[in-house]
Amino acid sequence: MENLSANNNIPSIDTRGLFCPLPLTLVSRKLKEIPVGGRLKVLADDKAFKKDIEVWAYETGNKLAEFKEENGYFVVIIERGKGFKGESIIDKIKFISLGVKLHFIKHFLDIVPFNKPKYLLTFVSVAEGIRANNFLKEKNINNYIMLPVPKEIYPHCGLVFGFKNKEDALNIYNLLKENKFAVEDVHVIDKEKKYPKIT
């Protein structure tokens, strides 16, 4: 186990007082600012955080370098990974198949742009996006399209929901957030491919 005092110079985020899914959302956003191999220190006091961060780290291909509890809250050191690749052959096949499907849809929309989305909803992990998709399908909500995350938003594999209009994007963002899904942000697709956030 590493010594926390050796980690004083790394970026940190304090999520104490926040509850699921906000801590994961904030951790995911902050970690995207850190290069692969870099580390992030997280403080959290949500009792569900331990399980949530372990699952999230696995799903996103990041590493929990340290996890301890002190003074009634958790102190976690996360090392930025290269994204989820799957451990078993079944994981790898499912992950690659989803990626192929999403990229095919993206290329089709590039060729036939009449139905192209203008807003993108991001998630803390691919698995969270899949869970959100299943939840919305059960409610017969289908006013979005699943696409690969643009490399300008996140350089590793991921998925987003694409929407034609802002109102739909914000309504789904709020619905998922209210139902404890770890959504991140809604981005506008601009001409310069900078994808500014509107949430």
pTM listed for this prediction: 0.66
* Digit-coded pLDDT (tens) for 99-141: 677 767 776 777 776 678 999 999 988 888 988 999 999 999 9
Which of 47, 18, 196 has its CA nearest to residue 120? 196
CATH class of domain segment(s) 89-188: alpha beta
Active-site hit among 10, 20, 64, 145: 20
* Digit-coded pLDDT (tens) for 137-152: 999 999 999 998 888 8
Measured N-to-C along each axis, helices 89-111 and 126-138 cross at an angle, to the nearest 10 degrees, of 70
Whether 162 contacts 120, CB under 8 Å:
yes
Q: How distant, in Å, are the alpha carbons of 26, 36, 95, 146, 177 from that of 20?
A: 11, 25, 25, 24, 10
Q: Where are the domains of the chain?
A: 4-79, 89-188
CATH class of domain segment(s) 4-79: alpha beta
Domains 4-79 and 89-188 share a fold: no
20 is catalytic: yes
> The tokens 């990041």 sit on which residue?
62
